[in-house]
Amino acid sequence: MNDVVIEAKNLKKYYKMGETIVKALRGANIKIKKGSFVFIVGPSGSGKSTLMHLLGALDHPTGGSVKMDGKEISKMDDWELSMIRRNKVGFIFQTFNLVPSLTALDNVKLPLLTDKRISDEELTARAIKLLKVVGLGHRIYHTPNELSGGERQRVAIARALINNPEIILADEPTGELDSKTGAEIFELMRKMNKEEGKTFIIVTHDTEYIKHNDTVYHIKDGVIKETSKRELEKNGMKGKKEIT
Ligand SMILES: Nc1ncnc2c1ncn2[C@@H]1O[C@H](COP(=O)(O)OP(=O)(O)OP(=O)(O)O)[C@@H](O)[C@H]1O
Ligand SMILES: [Mg+2]
């Protein structure tokens, strides 16, 4: 059985800005195994979010290949990519990206509202169950402005899980949170990884949440190198914004 869930080869992403071309990714390679809990670190502007967008079928690369479950997705059209996202991927963002006018429950239901394969009753039941899993059973009808930062991110985690995705991509999920709340969010993500076998790919500047046996990739100048917490510490790259 093939246990590689995402594989990117020689991945390139160039952005055209008027006369200049920004080379965000210049031939990045990465292989993510099913059920792993993987970190991506690197300086600001090194291409981390760009990489996440390509691995999560949100955007097309300029060149190279991205395979999900062995299937080439880099050349799919927008509709095919949206199907991949709906069936396989969940996203968690730094700024939560919740809809302010909707309750926690409706925010969690949102990704599957147009999915005709699931009835509203079933979707509501699934969303409530997930809100309970993330510890928000008592906040179901609160809107985002009636929730703390950590609670908002928990809603976003429940939303990322609503389609029962194989892969969860989190781009600086604790960037807006204090360190205690950040630690709780990491605890929750590790629990989902261990108990549900979900694959997590996490971009972070907060290296305190990385453990010594975690897989860590360092992205710099548009290419990716495997590293470790120990290596990062050895090179003086611990703590916020010190990663270079
Ligand atoms: N839509 C875009 N158009 C043009 N240039 C872009 C676009 N998105 C990103 N870039 C550029 O590509 C490079 C990589 O950006 P990216 O957002 O991937 O960095 P990052 O590693 O996520 O940074 P940060 O840690 O600050 O979030 C940067 O130089 C950025 O300015
Ligand atoms: Mg980014």
pLDDT at residue number 2 = 63
Residue 185 forms part of a structural domain: yes
Average the pLDDT over 146-161 and give the result.
96
Confidence of residue 244 (pLDDT cuts 50, 70, 90): very low
- Residue 109's contacts (CB-CB under 8 Å, 6 or more residues apart) are 123, 124, 127, 162
Residue 20 forms part of a structural domain: yes
Q: Flag whether pLDDT at 159 surpasses 70.
A: yes
**Distance between start and end Cα atoms, the chain:** 37
49 Cβ closer than 6 Å to some ligand 1 atom: yes
Is the full-model pTM beyond 0.75?
Answer: yes
pLDDT at residue number 11 = 97
Span from the CA of 117 to the centroid of ligand 1 (angstroms) = 36
| Owning domain of residue 200 | 4-95+162-234
Tell me whether strands 4-17 and 20-33 are parallel, antiparallel or unpaired: antiparallel
Residue 186 forms part of a structural domain: yes
CA distance 197 to 182: 21
CA dihedral 87, 89, 94, 100 (to 10 degrees): 0
Span from the CA of 50 to the centroid of ligand 1 (angstroms) = 6
Pick the residue whose CA is nearest to atom 30 on ligand 1. 45
Confidence of residue 238 (pLDDT cuts 50, 70, 90): low
Span from the CA of 161 to the centroid of ligand 2 (angstroms) = 22
Residue 133 forms part of a structural domain: no
Q: What is the pLDDT of residues 96-133, one digit of tens each?
A: 999 999 999 999 999 999 999 999 999 999 999 999 99
Q: Flag whether pLDDT at 241 surpasses 50.
A: no
Confidence of residue 243 (pLDDT cuts 50, 70, 90): very low
21 Cβ closer than 6 Å to some ligand 1 atom: no
Domain of 61, CATH number, reads: 3.40.50.300
pLDDT at residue number 234 = 87
Structural domains in the chain (count): 1
Residue 104 forms part of a structural domain: no
Question: How many Cα atoms sit within 13 Å of 112 on the Cβ side?
Answer: 27
pLDDT at residue number 242 = 43
**Kind and range of the H or E element at 243?**
none
CB 165 within 8 A of CB 3: no
When the pLDDT of each residue in the chain is averaged and rounded to a whole number, the result is 93
Average the pLDDT over 9-17 and give the result.
96
Closest by CA to 169, choosing from 15, 51, 69, is 51
Residue 241 forms part of a structural domain: no
Residue 129 forms part of a structural domain: no
